[in-house]
Amino acid sequence: MTSVTARDYAWIRSSPLFDCALEIGYTLSLVRGVAPREVLRVMEAEPQGSCTGADALIERQDELRDPEDYSDESFMAGACTVPGEGGDWTLVLHVGEGGMGMQSRFLEALTDGGCAVAHSSNGGKPMHFFHWYEDGELRTTFEWPTVRQGSTPDVLNSAMREVGYVLSDDEGGASETSERVDTKAAAFALAERLTGVRVTEELLQGAEYQLGYVPDEQ
């Protein structure tokens, strides 16, 4: 694991991209050893060509959406190859209204013999999620870092503390120290600890994304 902490991701608070992502919702997933086209195939996405940069991906999402259909959970996913621990990973990004990105069944299938990490926000509401899958199993997941679930809910506790999360009242609870912790930045840092992938504004804005339209499951 790297020694990254939440402080290394302070850039998200001055990023126009993540200001938008947190306002309207996003999902960022990292999948080890599976190529972008295969990830999109497992997600049952319809190929939509490619684009360069997250701004262009958001534009394609906006073109897709009917602004008056609030029940539509279809979305545009962008997938690209990034270097990480143990080789190449596929980064999958969705920013905008619609589905919450990666469904659990996709992550279970994509991590059969592998690993994936995903974090997300539903936009406009205080709901932020983190999921870690390994060998087709949900190992650790949480909305609040103090309430963890999964087959091994406590195995990441040491790494979570190191990146900046406060896990109990005994560690600070509502103290001045805990109030300074940016839990969204901590989610990025924890994802890097598990994957070795450093996510930057330059990476997301310079990436060549393969696009896939994921239809509403209703």
The DSSP-derived string for 135-156 is TTEEEEEESSTTSEESSSTTTT
- Distance between start and end Cα atoms, the chain: 39
Nearest Cα to 79, choosing from 138, 139, 21, 36? 36
Cα–Cα distance for residue pair 20/215, rounded to 1 Å: 23
Give bridge partners of residue 207 from the DSSP assignment.
Answer: none
Query: Where exactly are the structural domains of the chain?
Result: 6-214
pLDDT in tens, 9-51: 999 999 999 999 989 899 999 999 999 999 999 999 999 999 9
- The whole-number pLDDT of residue 169 equals 55
CB 173 within 8 A of CB 166: yes
CB 198 within 8 A of CB 29: no
CB 212 within 8 A of CB 40: yes
User: What 3-state DSSP class applies to 163?
Assistant: helix
CB 94 within 8 A of CB 27: yes
Residues of the chain with pLDDT under 70: 1, 65-72, 97-100, 169-179, 217-218
The torsion angles phi and psi of 94, rounded to 5 degrees, stand at: -135, 125
DSSP 8-state assignment for residue 125: S
Inter-axis angle of helices 16-24 and 54-64, nearest 10: 30
